Amino acid sequence: MAHFANIDEDNLVIEVLVVPDDQEHRGQDFLSNDLGLGGNWIQTSYNGNIRANFAGVGYTYDPVNDVFIPPKPFPSWILNDDWFWEAPIERPGNNYLWNEENVEWVEIT
């Protein structure tokens, strides 16, 4: 099965639907016309083989780089070269949560 994301006028993903394999080559037409859904449908993949990330509702489609970008979790976080958000400070271990107010990792006790 193939997956397609419906993109609104602001390039925001508003839904993701599955298309049968035999319709993958014409996913936009299949969803928009055959099913009568309208919209702007762009293919995405679970394993990130195309467009960097599997699109989810709330993701943004970047048409210049042809990638889906997840929502930014915190204002201080930076988009890395793999199209994922990362903290400005490396996480010291698994038992830490991000504190945006102090821009630091805080250990969970």
| Extents of the domains making up the chain | 1-71, 73-109
Say whether pLDDT at 47 is over 90. no
Q: DSSP string spanning 41-76?
A: EEEE-TT-SSSSS---TT-EEETTTTEEEPPPSSTT
pLDDT tens, residue by residue, 14-24: 999 999 999 99
Cα–Cα distance, 49 to 68 (Å, whole number): 12
pLDDT tens, residue by residue, 53-106: 999 999 999 999 999 999 999 999 999 999 999 999 999 999 999 999 999 999
pLDDT tens, residue by residue, 2-15: 999 999 999 999 99
pLDDT of 100: 97
